[in-house]
């Protein structure tokens, strides 16, 4: 019994430590330092090119937290505009719906990053923390910008979803391996455990009529499946 209580106590302490790390990141966002948007955008492109040095650099600079949030919002706006302007003849979502969807997606993405940090650290003794993952994942979100092309070329929907889905999975794998300092096998298991775990939670919530789609690489797996299904019907 004492061993069980000790284990539960240790888990609670570890969980609180990860929560404190997340809170520290939000404090960094509330107190932003100066940054050069053009330079940081180029850093984001380097991250999409799997530049490990840039990933480490962005992860360790606290001033990049605000830029990361900005890139996430830009990516989400691009996706929302692409959806809003793509299919007016079928269904055009309201602006309120799009704003709600962006907030919803941001919360989901934060949960994915938190779960990734927790699983990588607790199961595989990974390094890094929530803030470092948030910064680098945030920079990678510029990959969502091409979704705005859906507004002028809706026929590209399948191609864009397929390309973004595949590459986001590759980038996510690299980010987790570099920032958490995991080996390839542990990186893959971290992704699978988080994706399956959050998928189960989503399915349980759906039974109560609560829909919840998780952002990050979990969402890109869904995008990839949708794209492959659409391509199979061409």
pLDDT of 62 reads 81
pTM attached to this predicted model? 0.81
Tokens linked to 131: 């803030």
pLDDT of 233 reads 42
- In order along its 234 residues, the chain shows pLDDT tens digits of 555 555 556 667 777 777 777 778 877 777 777 888 999 999 999 999 999 999 999 999 888 899 999 999 999 888 888 777 766 655 666 778 778 888 888 888 898 999 999 999 999 999 999 999 999 999 999 999 888 877 677 677 778 778 888 899 999 999 999 999 999 999 999 999 998 888 887 778 677 655 555 455 555 544 444 444 443 443
Chain segment 179-201, per-residue pLDDT in tens: 999 999 999 999 999 988 888 87
pLDDT of 181 reads 96
Chain segment 215-233, per-residue pLDDT in tens: 555 555 444 444 444 434 4
Cα first-last separation, the chain: 60
């Amino acid at each position: 019994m004492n061993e069980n209580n000790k284990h539960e106590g240790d888990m609670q302490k570890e969980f609180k430590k990860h929560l404190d790390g997340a809170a520290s990141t939000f404090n960094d966002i509330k107190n932003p330092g100066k940054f050069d948007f053009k330079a940081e955008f180029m850093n984001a492109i380097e991250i999409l090119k799997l530049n490990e040095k840039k990933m480490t650099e962005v992860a360790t600079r606290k001033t990049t937290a605000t830029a990361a949030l900005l890139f996430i919002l830009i990516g989400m706006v691009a996706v929302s505009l692409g959806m809003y302007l793509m299919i007016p003849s079928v269904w055009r979502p309201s602006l309120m719906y799009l704003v709600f969807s962006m907030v919803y997606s941001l919360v989901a993405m934060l949960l994915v990053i938190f779960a990734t940090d927790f699983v990588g650290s607790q199961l595989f003794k990974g390094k890094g923390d929530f803030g470092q993952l948030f910064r680098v994942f945030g920079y990678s979100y510029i990959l969502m910008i091409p979704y705005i092309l859906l507004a002028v070329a809706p026929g590209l929907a399948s191609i864009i979803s397929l390309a973004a889905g595949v590459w986001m999975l590759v980038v996510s794998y690299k980010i987790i391996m570099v920032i958490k300092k995991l080996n390839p096998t542990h990186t893959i298991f971290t992704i699978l455990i988080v994706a399956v775990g959050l998928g189960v939670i989503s399915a349980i919530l759906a039974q109560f009529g609560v829909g919840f789609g998780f952002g990050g690489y979990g969402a890109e797996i869904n995008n990839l499946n949708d794209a492959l299904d659409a391509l199979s019907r061409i």
